[in-house]
Amino acid sequence: MPSTHFSEAALERRREKFAYAADFPGLLHAAPEAVGKTVASVVSAGEVSVVVFTDGCFLLAAPGPASGDALLAAIQASAGALAPWRSSELAELERRVDAEQEAMRFARMEKVLGAVETNLPRVPELRDELRKLLDAGP
């Protein structure tokens, strides 16, 4: 059986390299660590950006959330922090959220009515069951 000494050594050097990068001096591990720091530059590095601060610290920043729901949740979660600069925009966003909820409410009603219309000729008992349900109330 051939020796794996060189392969094992190469893997160990790889682990050492990544461990050093993970503990690299100045690397901030969470965005709250950057509060109060001044941005010196932003460097694009493939799928991430590196935000370099004037004190030599840096933070890796991934692109924003891909889905609309995640982006909306992020904006809503930071509304308190954004409000001093974006209060009218936040109000508009909430207006649009409310408008969508109302539209979804009517869309659900439309789907239920469509299902009833489609199934009523095939299931004659449905009419009596719906009457019972409506008479029972909410």
pLDDT digits (tens, 9 = 90+) for 100-136: 999 999 999 999 999 999 999 999 999 999 999 999 9
pLDDT digits (tens, 9 = 90+) for 10-59: 999 999 999 999 999 999 999 999 999 999 999 988 888 899 999 999 99
- Predicted model pTM: 0.63
Tokens of 28: 């901030």
Tokens of 126: 């449905």
pLDDT digits (tens, 9 = 90+) for 51-87: 999 999 999 998 776 678 877 887 899 899 889 999 9
Taking the CA of residue 123 as centre, how many other CA atoms within 13 Å lie in the half-sphere pointing to its CB?
12
For residue 101, which of 112, 70, 93, 65 has the smallest C-alpha distance?
Answer: 93
Q: What per-residue confidence (pLDDT) applies to 1?
A: 55
